[in-house]
Structure 1
Amino acid sequence: MPAPSPEARRVSLIVPTVRRPEGLAVAVRSLLGQQGVDPLDLELIVVDNDPAGSAEAHVRGFAAEAPFPVRYVHAPEPGVANARNAAMAAATGELIAFLDDDEEAPPGWLAALLEAQARYGADVVFGPVRGRAPPHVVRHREYLERFFSREGPAESGAIDHYYGCGNSLLRRAALPDPDRPFSAVRNHIGGEDDLLFGQMKAAGARFAWAAEAWVWEDPVPSRLSLRYTLARAFAYGQGPTAASAAASPPRWLGVAGWMAQGLVQAGLFGALAGVQWLTRSPKFAFTADRAARGLGKTFWFGPFKIEFYGRSSGGVRLP
């Protein structure tokens, strides 16, 4: 689909996608139905990270019914950072709002993000995510919905920490690179957003939380299992240790501290999880999650890295 000539907009909505037509349709239609925002201020960019460009026809259909410009961007080289950067390079907005292709935004979502950004003078605004499992998922349902949720303060306000890129609003002028802010080093393991926001925090960026700017998250069926979530928890645990090692200069004392903490965490919660598994405790999944994060803090290097993104199958590469 030929791209329309770009016209500067105040807000660029970005949805990265990889072969999820059903989820993409839900996400995009929720954005087309946003209220309390002038459509003349908006544009939507769908960035397709499928080498085959499978989303193009779907995006053409969305564009025909949209109250603001909808643009298709093809980023054929697999990788989550590649996709985000391709969309950023095409976006014209001074503000960038990210929604994932497994998320659905209520009608007042964007207005709530914009209100928080203006009120707190924030460089990045984050909102809650509410995990939503389909009715047939019964086993570990509470844990799975919690795992795919993002919880935060009960009220909106300035915060001193950051969350992930899905359901966020970024001020372009505050980015270290306005067109390619996400590191390609994290293409296949994720955490490109953590790396960016950590860099911004070190530079003095201001973060805010918009309690009313919540979205639903509908995980793909293949992710609704302990095999996936515990592997992901392990990868999350690797984050702080890997970040200490990647600092310039490396913070080796921090690496040692995180690894030691991880050993204790894995030992304590691993033992408790074993008891809970034997007794069929409903808390088993929660405890196993904490043990997996502890293991990740300790085994964060080389062969223990798990690749979640950029595979031709669209799935998770587990060891």
Structure 2
Amino acid sequence: MSQPAPDLTLAILTYDRPDGLAAALTSCLAQDNRLDLTMEIVVVDNHPAGAGRAVVERFAARSPWPIRYIADLTRNMATLRNRGFMEARGRWLAVIDDDETAASDWTDALVGALQATGADIAVGPRFAVFEAGSPPPYDLQGRQFVRDLGLPDLAEIDLATASGRPRYGLGTGNSIFDMACCFPDGRSAMREAFGDAGGEDAELFVRLHRQGRRIVWAAKARVTETVFRNRTEIPYRLVRTRRETQHYVSIYLDGAAHPGIARVELFVKGLIQVVVGSVFSALTLEHRSTSRLRWRLLTQHGLGKLTWRRPIGFIDETPAAQ
């Protein structure tokens, strides 16, 4: 006999992070659950050797909720994220990444935000803990690695201006969706065309917003991300900044009220950013510094606007051998 559908599905996409997956699952199973929700956990593993299988089996043996393990080797992030959405049986789907851990009231805060506001989607803050023990010298407060929109709890997130320009770049880590409202008739969530270049989750949020779905800020739903050393290295930050700007341009133009004007605006702004960033980086000798990154980041923002038709795609995040 089939089990009744749970209230909430927790989805985790993992790739070769068994320790991170174990930490994420530990935090999921430690939820206060004061709302008395029925839950399930779905883990989609993209590693060829199934690095997460043993972890899931260990936790499933003592979990009060079902944990399902799905192996999917598709090399497309949009397809993989869609698999997690497709496998969800709950009324709501919450997403947490395999490098994140959730506060004990996380699910209560996310679901509570939807119940209190009648919104279709809620997104919460992401804080950072650094594998190296502290933020990098060029960002001593670690602000580049934190997602905090600075909005009041339960405030509605207006993701785009009237011209179509995105205001925020949101990711699915620490988010919740009302499945029936957001994906009627079981339609796919992510656009697979974004899966090779990245930005599929940012595009999803903006597209749903443009379709009239309401998104709120769940300030009390907290997760903490482990920032690995390789992600703080300057070459990585520069490439990632350019790639994220390319995503921004593609998403903007996809819904711009006047695409031709938007293209000109972005080209001019990108050119100015490249020139200003390059000049000031040279004048201040920033290219030799490990504690200053401002002008090099500005240059990458400009390059992203000028090269958006040639997306960077996946970035090799394999840590260098010590």
1:144 is displaced (CA, Å) by 8.3
Hey, what's the Cα distance between the residues in 2 that align with 1:279 and 1:73?
45
Contact 1:265/1:294 (<8 A) preserved: yes
The equivalent residue for 1:172 is 179
Structure 1, unmatched stretches of 5+, are: none
Q: Does 1:80 align with 2:77?
A: yes
The equivalent residue for 2:158 is 160
Contact 1:50/1:78 (<8 A) preserved: no
TM-score (ref. length: structure 2): 0.86
Moved more, 194-203 or 274-283: 274-283
Q: Does 1:26 align with 2:50?
A: no
Name the CA shift for 1:78/1:278 in 2 (closer, same or farther; >3 Å). closer
1:232 is displaced (CA, Å) by 0.6
1:75 is displaced (CA, Å) by 1.3
1:266 is displaced (CA, Å) by 2.5
The equivalent residue for 1:239 is 247
Deviations 1:104-147 (A, max 9, x none): 11101111111111112111111111122134556426368322
Hey, what's the Cα distance between the residues in 2 that align with 1:23 and 1:285?
29
Q: 1:60 pairs with 57, 60, 66, which one?
A: 57
Name the CA shift for 1:215/1:231 in 2 (closer, same or farther; >3 Å). same
Deviations 1:222-253 (A, max 9, x none): 22211111111111111232224445998232
The equivalent residue for 1:185 is 193
Name the CA shift for 1:173/1:97 in 2 (closer, same or farther; >3 Å). same
Contact 1:45/1:73 (<8 A) preserved: yes
Hey, what's the Cα distance between the residues in 2 that align with 1:279 and 1:298?
21
SS at match of 2:43: strand
Letter in 1 for 2:68: R
Q: 1:208 pairs with 196, 216, 219, which one?
A: 216
Question: Identity over the aligned pairs, expressed in percent?
Answer: 30
Letter in 2 for 1:165: T
Contact 2:231/2:317 (<8 A) preserved: no
Hey, what's the Cα distance between the residues in 2 that align with 1:205 and 1:216?
27
Name the CA shift for 1:13/1:279 in 2 (closer, same or farther; >3 Å). closer
Letter in 2 for 1:229: R
Q: 1:294 pairs with 295, 302, 317, which one?
A: 302
1:212-223 matched pairs, under 5 angstroms:
212-223=220-231
Hey, what's the Cα distance between the residues in 2 that align with 1:197 and 1:278?
35
Letter in 2 for 1:217: E
Moved more, 85-94 or 131-140: 131-140
Letter in 1 for 2:306: T
Name the CA shift for 1:140/1:179 in 2 (closer, same or farther; >3 Å). farther
The equivalent residue for 1:150 is 147
Letter in 2 for 1:299: T
Pairs aligned (count):
308
TM-score (ref. length: structure 1): 0.87
Hey, what's the Cα distance between the residues in 2 that align with 1:34 and 1:69?
15
The equivalent residue for 2:163 is none
Hey, what's the Cα distance between the residues in 2 that align with 1:90 and 1:240?
29
CA RMSD across the alignment = 2.7
Moved more, 41-50 or 243-252: 243-252
Deviations 1:128-187 (A, max 9, x none): 111221345564263683222112124211121252111111111222453521111122
Name the CA shift for 1:250/1:44 in 2 (closer, same or farther; >3 Å). farther
Hey, what's the Cα distance between the residues in 1 that align with 2:151 and 2:258?
36
1:201 is displaced (CA, Å) by 1.3
SS at match of 2:139: helix
The equivalent residue for 2:279 is 271
1:30 is displaced (CA, Å) by 0.8
Hey, what's the Cα distance between the residues in 2 that align with 1:55 and 1:236?
28
